[in-house]
Amino acid sequence: MPVISISPDSFSGESLPEMLPALIALFAAFAVILAGTIIILKIKNRRTADTDSLTGGKNKDKFFRDCEKLIKKTAPEKLSMVVFDIDKFKLINDRMGYEEGDKILVRLHNTLKDCLDSKEPFARISEDNFACLIKNAPDAELENRLKGIFEEFQRRNSLYVKYPMVFSSGVCRLGQCRGKFDAVDFTIAVDRCNLARKSIKNKQTREVAFYDGKIREIYLREKDFENAMPQALENREFECYLQPKYGTKSHKVVGAEALIRWNSRDFGFVSPGEFIPLAEKNGFVVELDFFILEEVCRTMRQWIDKGEPLVVVSVNQSRLHINDDDYIWRLREIVDKYEIPYEYIELELTESVFTEDADRMIAIMNKLHELGFKLSIDDFGSGYSSLNLLKDIPADVLKIDREFFNGTVNSKKGRAVISSVVDMAKNLDMNVISEGVETKDQIEFLEEIDCNMVQGFYFAKPMKLKEFSELLSKENSETENDTKEETEDNETANA
């Protein structure tokens, strides 16, 4: 085995002691360079770890650290946390593509950068959610400042996208967010902002909400409702009501709409306006829809068994059914169980269901129509109307939204709009029903423009199944008597 040896002669005639200082200096320089490189890499990695990959700005962790630094210099009472997002941003991604959606978020980040003070930290904290810590001010002043930022973004964004964005924002003053040892808890602040933000979500009349104790109470109450719903359904606390539909000219019952009511053992009567949006949010509305459908079919079976003539009953269907592959199968299973002819079941869908996956929804509707179910579009005119879609929807009935109708008959232009909607629907081979009808003037106007049906308190409020069955039976008896009397009169006249 060869042996390698190093002698002092190997160093070009210089002795090792003479070279030692130079070697030490070389190794020291190398160590400094290595340490510097490591520090640079750590700083670079730290910056990368602190950066939002989409916007290039701060991420959530860095935002919270900057908030903590700021709070050491400024009293909490002088600051407010704000969290906001763009309503229906998923729809924007679906319509324009994720690449354009990302560009919109970058524009929003840049707008915040230019509109906020350099000492007011902000960041994209998730998806389309942004948070910022801004100087405190009275409610009106803070609201105007936020609206000004949103307007500036709309101005910049309109140069690229001709699509208006609607914001929902929640504000929480830091003085309301002290945790243990009187320290400010920024996580609590963000959570409370989100509670305020969600309280106005999709309400286009408001963009800014301020957190207060009432919002927290509402949130806790809603959580109690959500937790109680499954057991409430099992306990039959939910009940099906029917609201009659009347012929505009005959003033006779020609159908009904099935509605759900909740008389809770724990909470008492819970308004549909409270629990239905919650059920939509957590998906439980699917089970409520099928429950109501079964109650309707059971009642219609009783009418058939008693020899009573059937009327068409409309049953509301949530948009969540769109993504359920078993939807049509479950629907048919219930209706077939009670042997109800499909044409007496009208499936009512709000026009907003077409804003998410119109092609899939239209395909499902075509299938249901082929099977024989009747289909209606509810809340027409509530804000999502698309005449282009309307021509492709295989609907039998168009329902004019009560908000669209109320107060409109008093103006010439309003009457012209409603009349045009009725004419358009008839040209598309649809019947028209107006809901929320409460006055004689409204009835006379709708009769004048040949609207087919009306629904509202002018004729009848929603009623229990037994009450509706009695009303229907009474009307059928009166109709039979009228027919009998008319026949006898004819026979007498001919004699």
Compute how many other C-beta atoms are within 10 angstroms of the C-beta atom of residue 184: 18
Task: Please say whether the beta carbons of 378 and 348 come within 8 A.
Answer: yes
What residue ranges in 157-251 does DSSP mark as E strands? 167-173, 208-210, 238-247
Closest CA to 210 of 191, 196, 195, 198: 196
Domains of the chain: 60-211 (3.30.70.270), 220-480 (3.20.20.450)
Task: Please say whether the beta carbons of 238 and 261 come within 8 A.
Answer: yes
Q: What is the predicted pLDDT for the residue at 197?
A: 92
Q: What tokens appear for 296 in the block? A: 């309707």
Measured distance CA(119)–CA(117) in Å, rounded: 5
Residues of the chain with pLDDT under 70: 1-19, 23, 35-48, 178-182, 202-204, 351-352, 354-356, 381-389, 404-410, 479-495
End-to-end CA distance of the chain: 141
Measured distance CA(67)–CA(51) in Å, rounded: 16
Q: What is the predicted pLDDT for the residue at 491?
A: 46
Compute how many other C-beta atoms are within 10 angstroms of the C-beta atom of residue 264: 17
Q: What is the predicted pLDDT for the residue at 201?
A: 78
Task: Please say whether the beta carbons of 150 and 143 come within 8 A.
Answer: no
pTM of the model: 0.71
Measured distance CA(347)–CA(349) in Å, rounded: 7
Q: What is the predicted pLDDT for the residue at 390?
A: 76
Q: What radius of gyration, in Å, describes the C-alpha atoms of the chain?
A: 34
Measured distance CA(196)–CA(170) in Å, rounded: 5
Would you say the C-alpha torsion 327, 333, 338, 342 has a positive or negative sign?
positive
Q: What tokens appear for 243 in the block? A: 């609201």
Residue 183 backbone phi and psi in degrees, to 5: -85, 150
What residue ranges in 268-381 does DSSP mark as E strands? 268-270, 312-316, 345-350, 374-380
Q: What is the predicted pLDDT for the residue at 47?
A: 55
Measured distance CA(93)–CA(101) in Å, rounded: 5
- DSSP string across 76-104: GGGEEEEEEEETTHHHHHHHH-HHHHHHH
Q: What tokens appear for 328 in the block? A: 């049509």
